Amino acid sequence: MAQSMVKEFTKGLWAEIPPFRLVLGLCPVLAVTKSVENGIGMGIATTFVLVCSNFLVSLLRNIIPTKVRIACFIVIIATFVTVVELMMQAYTYPLFLKLGIFIPLIVVNCIVLGRAEAFAFKNAPHLAIADGLGMGIGFTLSLGALGAVRECLGSGTILGNAVFGPGFQPFTFMVEAPGAFVCLGLMLCLMNLIGKK
């Protein structure tokens, strides 16, 4: 049991790391990774939703009729997203302001619904939690990495601390939307290169 949990957990970290390998849930990936802080905050919020919804879907998998499963998934996911939204408003308000509309949009993030449909609905709760946690952490790391590259080049900072000397000219292209695509493409390319060996 422990072994299969580890397997489900680790696949989300590399072999099926969501934005790069599955290329799913790109909307928040591209939109919020202007800085490391935003990326990781978004990642943690998504992880919470993923773990909770995976667990609940898996728990109810024998009760939910197949015909209305998607509707049930959406109700479950939307509930947890709203919980996250309220929690963020109560405890991390500045981050909530920066992420803005992308927090409620976790509801339509393909990863969350995708994992519920493809994994949690067919597997036992402990595996579903491991899967959700792995996918969520993989997602958080990807967003953090993408955010780090973009923040570093685009604003010359990492987590708000300057990394270059005062003579640095920010490469503002990187913090705009096209920069996000280019950066994601290059990172995908790099991952495929490493993966090939």
Mark residues 11-50: x for contact with another protein by CB under 8 A, - for none.
----------------------------------------
**Residue 67 found at the interface with another protein (CB under 8 A):** yes
Dihedral, 102, 48, 52, 123 alpha carbons, nearest 10: 100
In this structure, the number of other CB atoms found within 10 A of the CB of residue 110 comes to 15
**Residue 108 found at the interface with another protein (CB under 8 A):** no
**Residue 63 found at the interface with another protein (CB under 8 A):** yes
**Residue 70 found at the interface with another protein (CB under 8 A):** no
Cα–chain-centroid distance for residue 78?
16
Look up residue 28 and give its two tokens. 């928040």
**Residue 194 found at the interface with another protein (CB under 8 A):** no
Q: Which is nearer to another protein, 45 or 72 (CB)?
A: 72
**Residue 91 found at the interface with another protein (CB under 8 A):** yes
Residue 161 belongs to what H/E stretch?
strand 161-162
Query: Residue written as tokens 């920069």?
Result: 179
**Residue 112 found at the interface with another protein (CB under 8 A):** no
CA 153/CA 197 separation, integer angstroms = 28
Q: Which is nearer to another protein, 20 or 73 (CB)?
A: 73
**Residue 65 found at the interface with another protein (CB under 8 A):** yes
CA 36/CA 146 separation, integer angstroms = 8
Cα–chain-centroid distance for residue 53?
14
- Binding-site ranges for another protein (CB under 8 A): 60, 63-65, 67-68, 71-72, 75-76, 78-79, 82-83, 86-87, 89-91, 93-94, 97, 100-101
